[in-house]
Structure 1
Amino acid sequence: MAILWGASWPWGRILAQTIPPITASTLRFLIASGALIIWLYHHDHFKAARFLTKKQWIGLLATGAIGVFAYAICFLSSLQYLPSGKASAAIALNPAFTLILAALFLKEKLNKIIILGIILAIFGALYALSQGHPIRFLSGNLHTGEYLLLTAVICWVAYTLLGRIVLKGIDSLTATTISSIFGTILLLITSITVEGQSAWESFLQAPSQSYIALICLALGSTTLAYAWYFNGIKALGAGNAAAYTSLVPVFGILISAVWLGEPLHLSLLIGAPLAIFGMLLMNIGQRQ
C-alpha cells in the first residue's frame, strides 16, 4: 500500500507532462470508479447505498467535490511544475493540519507528543519543499507549483474533516465509491468545458508510458492500495495501519529518483526524514 501510494507521485508526474491535468484526473477516476463499483457490488450488492439519508447523499457529494474533484486537479496540476519526489514530502502536512483543525473545530484533544510531531512534520515538509528555505512560505515567495500543492493539502484536510462530521454511519467502501462517482462526474464536465476536445486528443496521442502510468495510478494507487489499506486495518488495527502512511514519502522520493532520475537535493534528505519522524510521533501520540 505504501509503495503504491508513494509511486502515485512519479506516475502523476508522467501523466502531468503529457496529458492536461483535468482530463488526466478524469481518466484516472473513470477507471478507479469502475473498479470500485465492481468491488462494492461483490461486497454487499449496493445494500448500504440503498439506505443512505438525504443528508448523507449531500455529504457524499461534498466529499466528492472536495476530496476527488478539487484534490485530483490540484495534485496533477502541481506535478506539472514540481518534481514528484519533492512534492511527496507534502504528505506530512495532511495529518498535521488535520489534527490542528480537528482540535480547533471538533474539540479533539492534543498531547505533547502529537504537538511535537506536528511541529516536526510541518517544518520537515516545508524545508523539503522550499529547498532549505522554509521562510519563503511566510514571506509569500512561492511559485505556482507550491500554491497548487498546498491547495491540494487543504482539499485533503477539508475532505477528511468533512468525512468525520457528515459521513458517520456509512462504511468506508460505500462512501469512497459514491464520492468517487460524484467527483468523476464533476471532472468529466469540467474537462469537456475547460480543456475541450484537444485534451482528449492529446490522450490518444500520448506515449505508452502515459497509459501505463494512468492504469497504475487508477487501479494500483487508487483501488488496490485502498483495499490493502483496509485489510491492514482489520489485521493490525487502525493506529498501526495508519503508521504505514509515514512510509509513503520515503517510497515517493526513492521511486522518483530511480524511475524518473530526479536528484536528491540536500534539503530533501534533511526535511523528509524530519517530516516522516513527525508523522510517526503524531501516530504514537494519537494511540496514547
Structure 2
Amino acid sequence: MKIPPYVLLLLATLLWGGNFVIGRAVSDDIPPLTLAFLRWCVAFMVFLPIAYRSLKREWPLLKEHWLIVLILSLTGVAAFNTLVYIGLHYTTSINASLMNSSTPIIIYILSFIFLKERLSKFQLIGTILSLSGVVFIITGGSFASLVGFTFNKGDVIVTIAVCCWSVYSLLIKQYAKRLPGQSTFLVTIVLGLVLLFPFYLYETLEGTATIHWGWSTIAAILYVGVFASIVAFLCWNNGVIQLGANKASIYLNFIPVFATIFAILFLHEKLHAFQIIGGLAVVAGVILAGKTNKQRLPS
C-alpha cells in the first residue's frame, strides 16, 4: 500500500520535532559531543545495509564531487546536530525549534550572496520579517537585551547550527541531480563520524563524557540514531518525490509545532508570549518569502 505523501512528510517533521525535545531531555545525562557521535554510529549501522549496494555502484560519482560531499558532512552531519545538542544545554527545545524554522530564509540570503540569485519583493519582506522574529526570540522579547547585546548563548549556538544546516540544504539543492541520495548520505555519515571522533575522544579523555546509563538514555540514543536520522530521512525523501520540493517545504513549519507540543507535555516547558510572537513572525516570513513575484530585486 502506497503511503500518502502528506503522511510521510508529517511523520518526518514529527520525528525531527522530537529530536529537539530528546536533545534537551538528556542534556544532563549525555554530553553533547558524545550524543552526536553515538547518534551517527547507530545511524551508520542501520543505514549501511540499505545503501551499501548503491554506494558500490555510485562510488566514482562521489569521488568526483569529494569536496562537496565533505562539506555536506561537515555542515549537515558533524556540525548541525552537535551544535544543536550543545545549544540545548542552555536554551529550551521550543526556542531551538522555532529558530530552526528560519532555515529557508537563511538559504535565500546565502543564494543571494554566493549564487547571485535575485530576491523578489516577497522574499525581501519575508526575510526581514522572519529574521526579526528570530531576534525577538533570542532577546526574549526584551529591547534592553537587544541594545545591550545580552543574548542567551544557547540561542546563539543554535542560530549558528541553523546557518550550517542552511549551507547543507543549499548544496543538496544545487547538487540534487549530480549526487545520488542514499549513497551520498551514507558517505556523509561516515565522514561525519571521522570528524566527530577526535571531539568525542577529547570529551572522553577529559572525563566530561560521563553517561548516566539507563533505559531512557538508551532509548534517546536509539531515537535520534534511528528515527530522527534514518526513518525521518527516508520518509521526507519519499514524500518530496511524490509531492515536489516546493510543496513539501511548507511542511517544515510543523517541526516547531510538534517540538512545542512535546516540550510542554514531556518537559513541562512553558510557552511564552515572546516565543509565540517570534515564532509566528518566523513562519509568516517563510510563507511570504515562498510566494512568487515576477518583479525581482537586482543582485
TM score, norm. by length of structure 1: 0.89
Query: Deviations 1:141-190 (Å, cap 9, x if unpaired)?
Result: 22321221122122222323444556761122222221111011221222
Q: Which residue of 2 aligns with 1:21?
A: 32
Shift of 1:126: 2.4
Query: Deviations 1:71-103 (Å, cap 9, x if unpaired)?
Result: 222110000011111211111222111111101
2:130·2:285 contact (CA, 8 Å) conserved in 1? yes
Q: How many residues matched?
A: 284
* Letter matched to residue 3 of structure 1: L
CA distance in 1, matches of 2:147, 2:109: 18
CA distance in 2, matches of 1:63, 1:139: 36
Q: Greater CA deviation, 70-79 or 51-60?
A: 51-60
CA distance in 2, matches of 1:165, 1:136: 38
CA distance in 2, matches of 1:181, 1:32: 10
Alpha-carbon RMSD = 2.4
Query: Deviations 1:216-239 (Å, cap 9, x if unpaired)?
Result: 111111111111111111111111
2:166 corresponds, among 157, 173, 176, to 157
Shift of 1:108: 1.9
1:196 corresponds, among 181, 205, 210, to 205
Mapping for residues 65-214 of structure 1, pairs under 5 Å: 65-133=74-142, 136=145, 139-164=148-173, 169-196=178-205, 198-199=207-208, 202-203=210-211, 205-214=212-221
CA distance in 1, matches of 2:294, 2:51: 30
* Letter matched to residue 263 of structure 2: S
Structure 1 unpaired stretches of 5+: none
Structure 2 unpaired stretches of 5+: 1-11
Mapping for residues 6-17 of structure 1, pairs under 5 Å: 6-17=17-28
Provide the secondary structure at the position in 2 that maps to 1:175. Answer: helix
Provide the secondary structure at the position in 2 that maps to 1:82. Answer: coil
Residues 287 and 224 of structure 1: CA distance in aligned 2, closer, same or farther (over 3 Å): farther
CA distance in 1, matches of 2:145, 2:177: 39
Q: Which residue of 2 aligns with 1:37?
A: 48
2:87·2:154 contact (CA, 8 Å) conserved in 1? yes
CA distance in 2, matches of 1:47, 1:135: 57
Shift of 1:26: 0.3
* Letter matched to residue 154 of structure 2: G
Q: Greater CA deviation, 161-170 or 143-152?
A: 161-170
Residues 164 and 286 of structure 1: CA distance in aligned 2, closer, same or farther (over 3 Å): farther
Query: Deviations 1:230-285 (Å, cap 9, x if unpaired)?
Result: 11111111111111001111111111111111011111122112212222223334
* Letter matched to residue 16 of structure 2: W
Shift of 1:49: 3.2
- Among the aligned pairs, what percent are the same residue? 26
